[in-house]
Amino acid sequence: MLSAETPLETKSSQIPKQVESNLQLETKTIFQLDKISITNQDVENFKAYQQIGDSSLTDKEIIEQLATEQIYLSVAQQKNVAATLEEGKQEALKNREILKTQPQNIQNTQLKLIKLMGLDEEEYWNDFAPKEYQKILTAQNLTKLLLEENILKYNSNQPQEFGKELKAYKHNLYVQALKKANVLPE
């Protein structure tokens, strides 16, 4: 009998192979804005990880998503609300402890995903995860600041509207950045 995780495992087992293959591509910068740089390898790696979900974004949409995330983080830097790597390490530690309290099948799934990334548990929790949590905390800090400054508004009666408003704000950042960015055809 096949387990419910089999499709996920099958899809995700292809990711390291694809990412490794992407390293062979001639690297071309396709979006450049100040310190923000997106390459064809970034887009192809995004596609590799995208296999896990059912989403199928175009290259243009992937570039926008990657650039928007980096632009949002750079705005947080400019507004001095960026999280530190130490805060990212603390968040990783907290989440690692939470994971230990989860059912074994969830822990096993997390371990499989870590291995599929080509990392061992210590590399993941000590090197990879803190940087990712730093980004998450930085984005949260900026969102909180934008709410405090009434640039974004949250209505508890319509929480879905906040998501739309945040998405529109980020899209506007991207549109403004495009005026200054160097976007190259692939």
Mean per-residue pLDDT for 167-186? Answer: 82
Is the pLDDT assigned to residue 32 strictly greater than 70? Answer: yes
φ/ψ of residue 168, rounded to 5 = -65, -40
pLDDT tens-digit series, residues 126-150: 999 999 999 999 999 999 999 999 9
Q: Give the 3-state secondary structure of residue 172.
A: helix
Is the pLDDT assigned to residue 2 strictly greater than 50? Answer: no
Residue type, 167: K
Q: Which residues contact 67 (CB under 8 A, 6 or more apart)?
A: 31, 33, 36, 38, 174, 177, 181
Which residue pairs from 83-89 have beta carbons closer than 8 angstroms and sit at least 24 positions apart in sequence? 83/133, 83/134, 83/135, 83/137, 83/138, 83/141, 84/134, 85/130, 85/131, 85/134, 87/133, 87/134, 87/137, 88/129, 88/130, 88/131, 88/132, 88/133, 88/134, 88/135, 88/137, 89/126, 89/130, 89/133
pLDDT at position 16 is 67
pLDDT at position 9 is 60
Is the pLDDT assigned to residue 8 strictly greater than 60? Answer: no
Please tell me which residue, 24 or 13, carries the higher pLDDT value.
24
Percentage of the chain exceeding pLDDT 70: 87
- Tokens found for residue 125: 């929790």
Is the pLDDT assigned to residue 15 strictly greater than 80? Answer: no
Mean per-residue pLDDT for 88-107? Answer: 95
